[in-house]
Amino acid sequence: MTRKSIILAILIAASAAGAAVMWLRGQAPAAQITVGGKVSDLQFQSLDGKAASLFQLKGARGTLLLFVATRCPVSNDYNQRMADLARDYIAHGFAVLGINANRTEPADEVARHAAEKGLGFTILKDPDNRAADFFGASVTPEAFLFDTGWTLRYHGRIDDSRNPANIASRDLRAALDALEADKAVPVAETKAFGCTIKRAARQ
Amino acid sequence: MALTLARPQTRPAAKQARAVRDPEIIDQDRYKDLLERYRGKALLVNFWATWCEPCRDEYPMLNQLAKQYAPQGLHLVGISLDDDGEMILVRRFLAKHRPVFPNYRKRPGKEEEFINAVNPRWSGAIPASFFYAADGSQIGNFVGEANREKYEAAIRTLLEKSKPSSGNSR
């Protein structure tokens, strides 16, 4: 082998190595909090345009954030289950907050949708996706459950099946029950599935 | 006066939808089998669903890319994450776009196991495309929307990595 061909071979190998891994950032930025971490106060917007602080909406037993959508069939498949969760756990002292971070879904549409579907919990807008980015939320629906000290205790799906007839694992309910009983959450992290959050264009 | 009963007219879209074969069901084991079948080839696997707007938006582009790069050895496979109740929409979608590449449908349920089998670092969000070189290694992915330019750059890299001279094929 000539010296020139050896150098060429090295260059090709180096180039191939550089191109070997091209993990590209997904749509959601990397989360700034993981299970076990604490959240600082975050600002949202109520559906009538007023500022809303996460810490001021705290529940006595804990706070549940649900990233939701109006037009996502997956999120809509969970409307009844989310309404049931809110009904059951607000009564037990939890705050249940829906977060709509979709730039494509205006506040009035979100309000109409919530009323029509009887969701029964407060929904806030996350207009600049600051909260969605902080949490690394990527789909709807996606759940984040905090204890009274604002430690993230559960993140992920509501359960394991869009079709309620096929649910095998009610992960979010299990987490809420554990929190209520001051026990460790049995499965603290699951992968949420649903429609990607339609984020605002980055500056 | 005779009463003539007209035959019910079948809408062209519905008729066309019925002519399209339903995508074969795939689970995580069959996904591994599929990857094995494509060993030795440059493979792009795209996950989509009729309920996913960006998936619907990019699908025609993927179809064009499949045609454009097939002569260079690109193989493209689509996997729908639609549920059983969405099959009418799936049929209509496939009938409308007439993909030149095979499409499967993930068996509903066990989402997390399937997602982790594809890539444990994948959140499960779609659209998602995974690039497999000829040696079977997953060399990259897109999660979320990606434009044509990005896809073409990734495909060219994939094809380069899959050339027999790069030592990546069996």
Enumerate the domain spans of chain A. Answer: 3-196
Contact A139 B142 (CB under 8 A): no
3-class SS at A147? coil
CATH superfamily, domain A3-196, is Glutaredoxin (3.40.30.10)
Position B31 scores a pLDDT of: 97
Distance from CA of A195 to the nearest CA of B (A): 6
pTM of the model: 0.80
Which of the listed CATH numbers 3.40.30.10, 3.10.20.880, 1.10.1060.10, 3.30.413.10 matches domain B22-164?
Answer: 3.40.30.10
- Structural domain boundaries in chain B: 22-164
ipTM: 0.70
Q: Which residues pair with A152 in a beta bridge?
A: A146
Q: Which residues of A touch B126 (CB under 8 A)?
A: 196
pLDDT band at B166 (very low <50, low <70, confident <90, very high): low
Cis preceding linkage at A141, omega within 30:
yes
Strands B24-26 and A62-67 come out as: unpaired
pLDDT band at A24 (very low <50, low <70, confident <90, very high): very low
Angle ∠(B156,B106,A27) on CA atoms, nearest 5: 50
Q: Report which DSSP code applies to B149.
A: H
Q: Which of A138, A160, A163 sits opposite B125 (nearest CB)?
A: A138
Over residues B62-68, the mean pLDDT reads 98
pLDDT value at B52 more than 70 = yes
Over residues B24-43, the mean pLDDT reads 97
Q: Which of A21, A162, A196 sits opposite B144 (nearest CB)?
A: A196
Contact A145, A64 (CB under 8 A): yes
- Using CA atoms, how far apart are residues A90 and A60, in angstroms rounded to an integer? 10
Q: How many helices (H) and strands (E) does chain A have?
A: 6, 10
Angle ∠(A54,A55,A58) on CA atoms, nearest 5: 95
3-class SS at A192? coil
3-class SS at A99? strand
